[in-house]
């Protein structure tokens, strides 16, 4: 009965043990899946960040390029204004000259982005262009941009779809701006021809990996430029269902699509330009983007499968062990009967064992001495792997060995990984000897003790497993020595790696510096004052137009300086050495072929301990293009100011923050009593408050604050034109218009004479009506088309039956016919 109860009590742990195993396997599978999912999410997030950064940078650069092109178009508009054209015929006659052709060619001379400028009349006929003279007869009235300007009163830049040159095979886009005369009458358009290849060459080094693409599209989805170049896709429009449109509406964002070029699924980021109706699109192939993630996912999946298989094997072996224990316990009753028989035999053998006990004790003493020399203590475990005995030799400071009845994994809480436990349990389950199994115990003194144990299985004469016995020793000093050795080795390897990394970083930094100097047309140089020699970087030779060389004499290094600038250069050099400060200079260099280049030079002296200048270090940058752009900008600004001054109406410009920028003379003449308020940076609201405080505005019976709020709201909304009366009685017609960059143009016209004429006309009309009513006879007035204009009361009284027909625009014949018909009905 005791045997059966024991069997039942021992079989109960099997079910929770199996449940725990299943839970562990499930957790491992879920953990691997979550890790793979998180890795993919992180990969997509990293690409979103890098793609958005690239898209913003490309959008900013493209906006600057278009601003330069727009500046040329505005300058072309300045040419039109300077010519004085106010009608389409004037536009064709005044702008179709060879002088205008040369001026257009000069405007784009230093702008590689523009392939040509074309002036087109409002009827679509080409008036002038920068490419050829005389101007060929070309009709562009059916072009997209001309149709746009005919259908829309649009002052902004219009960008066409790309078109292919039938002769050269190159693709180009047209950037167009409407041209208006002084009376705001449409005269035509100015077109800038930009080759698509110029945009694609800029995108090429920024496209990233081989599967990366950079595209430029209009906001209606039409593809303008793409790198890598694809003839079939240019000028095509994205499908209406494409998520690209939603991302553009949202301001920017990432989306997925199937590429028709290579039939791959791609991940893209759309970044609209702030100032122009264009969108930068950066994309990568999703399979290539996630290749690294797929490799890691396979590794994680393989690891998870191996872990699952390992745990399944361990659970299987433990289940087999439980079954063996149950079978051994089922035969316990039978063994008890056999043991009774054995007891009798043992009594007979007791005497014999007593004789051999003495010999065994002597042998044990000998082997104990050997074991104590090699170990600190001994132990034994039963078949359940629970400790049953520790040797009397255990005496370790801080360690307590009250561990009887515990298993090793119940005793040890630190220093062993899950994999080590798995391997160790597998050895125990296989009843194999083990050597040097290490773990950590923290003693009562708080000190960490590193322990190593070795053991061998115990079997009885029948081959049945009975437990383990073995020896243990403390290896704390050995572990500390190993840790110190590993740390020293790691420190040495880290120092070597850091030195190697620093060397590579220095080499890469030097290479990047030279590349940056090449891109920015910047070179550096060092002059040795003792040897009077100068060492130039490669970019310096390129700027000077000289073949590369090593150290050159000081007089050769100065030879490119223009003769008119040599004194300023030498004076700046002397001041830098004398004052010990870095100085800057802009001067001209003359290349061997006679070409003049503008350069920006910065020089910085270095001194020895005695204060003597030993070397001069500096940089030289080619700023010729910048100088040319500055001159072109100044010329365009002068033309713009002249055009504004030539306007008959008052003109004022406010920036996108509604702050005053400039006015013309007519505007100041209209408001001569408040010109001190026209200070750059003054807001429109402040100007209104100043004029209202001086009593210079007719508020129409309103309070000051509501009047100011209403005026500012009308001004910023750029609504319908308003007519206002000033406090001195003058009438002003005010019109507000929004500029392309968000600013506001205010146009003011003095309409006092027109108002006075209108009032005089109304008074005359009232006098004429009073005079006609005073006539005793009936009076009716018909115009030259025999249409009714007016009658007096006596005329209406004479013809009451037709009085309802006396309406403006009714003919005399209609009145007669109605009179005849009504009289016939009365007969």
Alpha-carbon gap, residue 171 to 24, rounded angstroms? 64
Spatial distance between the Cα atoms of 813 and 811, rounded to a whole number of angstroms:
5
Nearest to 739 by CA among 658, 643, 639, 646: 658
* CATH for the stretch 376-474: 3.30.450.20
> In the prediction, which pLDDT does 386 show?
93
Phi-psi region of 269 (alpha: psi -120 to 50; beta: other; left: phi over 0): beta
Residues 808, 789: contact at Cβ < 8 Å? yes
pLDDT, averaged per 10 consecutive residues of the chain (827 residues), comes to 44 65 79 78 76 81 83 81 80 83 81 83 86 83 82 82 76 87 84 84 75 85 84 81 86 79 77 88 77 76 80 78 73 72 77 71 64 72 90 61 82 86 91 90 80 92 91 84 82 79 70 63 88 90 87 89 93 92 92 92 92 91 88 80 79 91 86 86 90 82 87 88 80 89 88 84 80 79 84 81 80 83 68
CA dihedral 353, 359, 364, 370 (to 10 degrees): -160
Rounded-to-integer distance, Cα 390 and Cα 350, Å: 27
| Domain ranges within the chain, ordered by starting residue | 199-287, 376-474, 522-622, 647-756, 775-826
Output the pLDDT for position 726: 77
81 CB neighbour count, 10 Å cutoff: 21
Q: 106: how many CB neighbours lie within 10 A of its CB?
A: 12
> Looking at domain 522-622, which of 3.40.50.720, 3.30.450.20, 3.30.465.10, 1.20.120.160 is its CATH number?
3.30.450.20
pLDDT for the residue 370: 56
Number of alpha carbons in the 13 Å side-chain half-sphere of residue 353: 6
Is it true that 199-287 and 376-474 share their CATH fold? yes
647-756 has CATH 3.30.200.20 classification = no
Query: In the prediction, which pLDDT does 9 show?
Result: 47
3-state secondary structure of 472: strand
Which residues are CB-contacts of 750 (< 8 A; sequence separation ≥ 6)? Answer: 670, 730, 731, 732
How far is it, in rounded angstroms, from Cα 687 to Cα 761?
A: 36
Which tokens go with 169?
């095979």
Biggest CA-to-CA distance, the chain: 173
Please give the Cα distance from 639 to 78 (Å, whole number): 6
Q: What is the pLDDT of residues 301-320, one digit of tens each?
A: 787 788 778 877 877 787 77
pLDDT digits over 435-462, tens only? Answer: 989 888 887 777 888 888 999 999 998 9
Match 């041209």 to its residue by tokens: 179
Question: Token pair for residue 477?
Answer: 């000093």
User: What CATH number belongs to 199-287?
Assistant: 3.30.450.20
């Amino acid at each position: 009965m005791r045997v059966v109860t024991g069997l039942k009590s021992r079989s109960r742990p099997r079910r929770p043990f199996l449940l725990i195993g299943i839970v562990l396997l499930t957790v491992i599978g879920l953990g691997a899946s979550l890790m793979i999912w998180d890795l993919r999410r992180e990969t997509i997030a990293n690409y979103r960040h890098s793609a958005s950064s690239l898209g913003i940078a490309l959008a900013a650069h493209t906006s600057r390029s278009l601003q330069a092109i727009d500046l040329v178009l505005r300058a072309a508009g300045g040419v039109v204004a300077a010519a004085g054209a106010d009608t389409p015929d004037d536009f064709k006659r005044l702008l179709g000259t060879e002088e205008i052709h040369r001026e257009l060619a000069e405007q784009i001379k230093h702008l590689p982005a523009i392939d040509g400028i074309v002036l087109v009349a409002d009827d679509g006929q080409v008036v002038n262009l920068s490419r050829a003279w005389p101007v060929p007869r070309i009709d562009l009235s059916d072009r997209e941009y001309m149709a746009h300007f005919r259908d829309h009163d649009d002052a902004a830049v219009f960008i066409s779809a790309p078109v292919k040159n039938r002769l050269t095979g190159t693709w180009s886009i047209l950037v167009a701006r409407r041209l208006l005369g002084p009376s705001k009458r449409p005269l035509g358009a100015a077109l800038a021809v930009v080759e698509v290849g110029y945009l694609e060459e800029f995108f090429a080094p920024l496209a990233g990996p081989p599967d990366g693409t950079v595209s430029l599209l209009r906001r209606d989805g039409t593809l303008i430029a793409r790198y890598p170049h694809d003839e079939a896709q240019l000028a095509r429009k994205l499908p209406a269902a494409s998520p690209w449109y939603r991302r553009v509406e949202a301001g920017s964002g990432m989306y997925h699509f199937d590429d028709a070029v290579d039939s791959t699924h791609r991940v893209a980021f759309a970044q609209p330009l702030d100032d122009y109706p264009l969108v930068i699109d950066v994309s990568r192939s999703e399979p290539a983007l996630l290749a690294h993630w797929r490799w890691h996912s396979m590794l994680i999946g393989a690891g998870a499968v191996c872990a699952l298989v390992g745990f399944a094997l361990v659970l299987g072996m433990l289940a087999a062990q439980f079954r063996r224990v149950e079978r051994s316990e089922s035969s316990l009753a039978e063994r008890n009967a056999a043991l009774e028989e054995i007891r009798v035999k043992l009594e007979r053998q007791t005497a014999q064992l007593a004789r051999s006990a003495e010999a065994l004790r002597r042998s044990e003493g000998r082997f104990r001495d050997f074991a104590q020399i090699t170990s600190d203590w001994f132990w034994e475990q039963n078949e359940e792997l629970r400790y049953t005995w520790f040797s009397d030799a255990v005496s370790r400071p801080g360690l307590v060995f009250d561990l009887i009845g515990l298993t090793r994994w119940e005793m040890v809480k630190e220093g062993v990984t899950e994999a080590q436990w798995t391997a160790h349990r597998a050895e125990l389950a296989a009843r194999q000897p083990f050597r040097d199994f290490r773990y950590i115990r923290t003693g009562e003194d708080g000190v960490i003790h590193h322990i190593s144990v070795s053991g061998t299985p115990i079997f009885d004469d029948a081959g049945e497993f009975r437990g383990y016995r073995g020896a243990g020793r403390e290896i704390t000093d050995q572990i500390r020595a190993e840790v110190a050795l590993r740390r020293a080795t790691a420190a040495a390897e880290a120092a070597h790696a850091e030195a190697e990394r620093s060397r590579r970083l220095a080499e890469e930094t030097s290479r990047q510096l030279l590349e940056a100097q090449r891109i920015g047309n910047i070179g550096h140089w060092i002059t040795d004052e003792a040897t009077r020699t100068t060492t130039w970087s490669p970019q310096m030779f390129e700027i000077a137009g000289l073949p590369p060389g090593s150290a050159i004499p000081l007089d050769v290094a100065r030879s490119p300086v223009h003769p008119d600038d040599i004194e300023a250069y030498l004076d700046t050099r002397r001041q830098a050495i004398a004052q010990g400060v870095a100085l800057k200079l802009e001067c001209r260099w003359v290349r061997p072929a006679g070409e003049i280049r503008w350069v920006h030079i910065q020089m910085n002296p270095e001194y020895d301990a005695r204060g003597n200048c030993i070397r001069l270090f500096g940089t030289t940058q080619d700023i010729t293009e910048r100088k040319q752009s500055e001159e072109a900008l100044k010329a365009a600004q002068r033309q713009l100011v002249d055009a504004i001054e030539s306007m008959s109406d008052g003109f004022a410009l406010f920036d996108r923050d509604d702050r005053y920028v400039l006015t013309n003379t007519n505007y100041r003449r209209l408001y001569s009593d408040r010109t001190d308020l026209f200070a750059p940076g003054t807001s429109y609201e402040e100007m209104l408050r100043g004029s209202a405080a001086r009593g210079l505005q007719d508020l129409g019976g309103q309070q000051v604050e509501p009047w100011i709020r209403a005026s500012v709201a009308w001004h910023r909304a750029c609504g319908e034109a308003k007519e206002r009366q000033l406090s001195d009685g003058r009438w002003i017609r005010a019109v507000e218009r929004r500029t392309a960059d968000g600013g506001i143009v205010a146009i003011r016209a003095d309409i006092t004479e027109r108002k006075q004429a209108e009032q005089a006309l109304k008074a005359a009309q009232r006098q004429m009506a009073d005079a006609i009513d005073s006539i005793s006879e009936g009076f009716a007035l018909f115009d030259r088309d025999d249409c009714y204009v007016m009658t007096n009361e006596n005329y209406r009284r004479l013809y009451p039956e037709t009085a309802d027909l006396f309406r403006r625009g009714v003919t005399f014949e209609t009145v007669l016919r109605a009179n005849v018909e009504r009289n016939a009905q009365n007969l």
